[in-house]
Amino acid sequence: MGAVMMVVVRPMAERDLERVVSMEAASQPTPWSEKIFQDELAAPNRAYLVAEGEDIIGFGGVMVVDGDAHVTNLLVASESRRAGTGTSLMVALVEAALEMGAVNITLEVRERNEAARRLYRRFGLAPVGLRKGYYGDDDALIMWAHDIDSEEYRRRLFELAPHHPETHHTS
C-alpha cells in the first residue's frame, strides 16, 4: 500500500478543468472534453469532486436520477494510487449522492481493472452485467449497490471513511 498523503476532497470548479481534462485524456481512450465537464458541472442532480494533494490527484462525479446514483467517472493519477485517494473520493461521492436522495448506486468499470473492482466491492457494489466494448478497448462490468440510504450501509460508509487527521473532506 502506498504512503498516506494529505488529501483534500472538494467540489470541482471551472479552474480545475485544465488539469482534470489532462488527466482524463492521459487515461481514457475516449476522454471527456472540457465542454462535457462544463456541461456536467452546470447540470442539476450532479456532484463533481476533486482530490488535491500538492496538485489535483483525482476526481470523480455522480449523478442522481429517480433515486439511482450513477458514478460517471472516478480517476486517480497513477502516481497517487493505493494511498486512499480513490476511497476518499468514493466516500464523498456516495455522501453527495445520499444528499441528492439516492437509494441505489451503480457504475461501469473496466472488466480488466481489478484494483477498481476491489475498491467498488468494498462499497457493496456487486456485478450484475456486462457491456461489451463499452470502453472501446475493454468491456464494462456493470455494478450496483442497493439500499445505500439504510443504516447498515451508512455504517459501512463510516467504516470506509478515512479517519486519519491528514485527510479532510470539504463541501
Neighbouring-strand partners of residue 77: none
Could you confirm whether 120 is annotated as catalytic? yes
Catalytic residue among 108, 114, 152, 153: 108
Closest of 112, 115, 114 to residue 134, by C-alpha? 112
Q: With DSSP H G I counted as helix, E B as strand and the rest as coil, what are the percentages for the chain, rounded to 5?
A: 35, 30, 35
Neighbouring-strand partners of residue 59: 50, 75
Catalytic residue among 99, 120, 134, 152: 120
Looking up cell 436520477 gives: 65
Closest of 155, 132, 153, 152 to residue 142, by C-alpha? 132
- Tally of CA atoms within 13 A in the half-sphere of 42 that contains its CB: 7
Which of the residues are catalytic?
108, 120
